[in-house]
Amino acid sequence: MTVDQRIIVPLDVSSASAALDLVDAIPEVSFWKVGLELFVSSGPGLIQELKARQKRIFLDLKFHDIPNTMAGACAAAGRYGVDLLTIHAAAGQEAMEVAQQAAIASAEAVGLEPPLVLAVTLLTSIDPQTLAVELKVPLDSNSYVLQMALLARDSGLRGVVCSPQEASQLRRFLPADFILVCPGVRPTWADSQDQRRTMTPVQALNAGATCLVIGRPITAAPDPAAAFARICEECSTAIAP
């Protein structure tokens, strides 16, 4: 992938019209993320609009439920023709296995390329203190993320969502072609806002990230297209995994 193809820009808006305005304002962006708020407000029709514009789609709904329910949800999502789809690793091995199987089967049944199902290891808004004190998890965040990533691998998944801070550690334990999608990426000239575990784009790629999710530094910039181009230029100096 070229550098620009490795940057996923979130459509963190509340309506389809606002989302498409943003997509059309930055035609250089080829990979867009549709999250919970936008999908709930706009539905699968937005996915078709993005596909009509020949965009790649990261459907980030983070399914987390009993195995049967996750399988049904992933089967429905598999028919949308998206490229990436997220589930929570904390749902467990059985849930991840049946979710991926359902997504693949439903996509193939309608002649589509199946989405790559990614397991979310730990939300980037959760810092070590929150993990230990509020959630009572008896592991530090690095150990917990590694455990979730290994569980995803053992479930047959081919990638995870993780903080860029954990990418280098995961690269030591996972196959070379295992996909690491990293949110919590901020250029030095941008505010980290509600992300707790962050890195710059160059640092994240050098740590082993496959794709970077970068939102407000681009979408909230005075000139989003210029901000995207600046990030791509910075990333061109990174070492590709």
Q: To which H or E segment does residue 124 belong?
A: none
Catalytic residue, candidates 4, 55, 65, 83: 65
Helix/strand/coil for 62? strand
CA distance 120 to 222: 31
Q: Which residues are annotated as a binding site?
A: 12, 33, 60-69, 124, 186, 195, 215-216
CATH of domain 3-236: 3.20.20.70
Residue written as tokens 């196959």? 175
13-25: pLDDT as tens digits = 999 999 999 999 9
Helical residues (DSSP H) of 10-123, grouped into ranges: 16-25, 36-42, 44-52, 67-78, 93-109
pLDDT at 239: 66
pLDDT of 85-121, one tens digit each?
A: 999 999 999 999 999 999 999 999 999 999 999 999 9
Task: Look at residues 157, 167, 155, 153 and name the one whose alpha carbon lies nearest to residue 124.
Answer: 167
Q: Which tokens is 134 given?
A: 């509020």
Under-50 pLDDT residues of the chain: none
| Binding site, annotated residues for substrate | 12, 33, 60-69, 124, 186, 195, 215-216
The catalytic residue among 4, 51, 55, 62 is 62
Closest Cα partner for 219 from 59, 9, 58?
Answer: 9
65 given a catalytic annotation:
yes
pLDDT at 188: 86
What residue segments make up the domains of the chain, in order of their start? 3-236
What is the separation, in whole angstroms, between the first and last Cα of the chain?
Answer: 11
Which pLDDT score, from 0 to 100, does residue 190 have?
74
62 is catalytic: yes
pLDDT of residue 132: 95
The yes-or-no answer on residue 60 being catalytic is: yes
User: What does the pLDDT read at residue 139?
Assistant: 95
